Amino acid sequence: MIFGQPAPCLWLEIGFGSGEHVAALMERHPDHFFLGAEFFINGMSAFLKMIKDRKHDHVRVLMDDAMMIANSLTDGCIDGIYILNPDPWPKKRHHKRRIVSAENLDQFARILKPGGQLIMSTDVPDLAEWMVTQASRHPAFTWTAQQADDWRTPPKDWIKTRYEGKRAKGADKMVYLVFEKALHDNHTPYA
C-alpha cells in the first residue's frame, strides 16, 4: 500500500514538469491520491517548493522514469493517467523513446481501472497524430472524441499548464486527447 491506506481515487501524471498541474489537482481534489514522475531535477525541485507549505500526504513522486512506477503498480489500481506535452522526440530514429508506445500502452491498460481515462495533450502536430494512432490501435482504449472540437477544446475543468501557456515552438493549437479503458478487464497486449 503506497499511502498506508486505501486510495479511493488514484491518478498518475507522467512527466509533470514543474508540477503546477499536480499541485492544482491536489488543491481541487484533496480527497484524491496522486502519483507523479518527473525525470529532471529542476522540475522536481520546483514542485517540492510549490507544495512545501501544504498538507500533502496524498501524493508520491519519483524523479526517474515514469515506467518504473507503472511497472510496479497492481492491475486496475489507477483511475486516470495524465501525459501532458511529452517530449516529441521528433527524429524518426528516436520515435521508440516516445512515452506513448504499444509497450507502454499495454502497461497503462493493465494499471487503469475499467473506464479509467488516459488524458494526453501536445502542441506538436506529428506527435498528436502519433498518440492518436498508437492509442486508437490499442484494443483496450477508445477515443472519446465525437467531433473535431473535442480534441481542439480543453476538457471540462482543464488545468492549463505553464508549458501550454507558452505555446512553444510556434504551434498555434493545443490538442487534447482523452481515451477510456474498456469496461471489461479482458485486455490483450497490443505489442
- DSSP designation for 15: S
The three grid cell numbers given for residue 108, joined into one nine-digit string: 497503462
Specify whether 87 is catalytic. yes
**Which residue is catalytic, options 75, 87, 106, 150?**
87
Q: Is 148 exposed, middle or buried (0-12, 13-18, 19+ CB in 10 A)?
A: exposed
Task: Let me know: does 181 contact 107? Beta carbons within 8 Å.
Answer: no
The three grid cell numbers given for residue 115, joined into one nine-digit string: 473506464
Q: Which of 75, 70, 76, 71 is nearest to 35 (CA)?
A: 70
Alpha helices in the chain (DSSP H): 20-28, 41-51, 66-72, 102-111, 125-137, 149-152, 162-166
Catalogue the active-site residues. Answer: 87
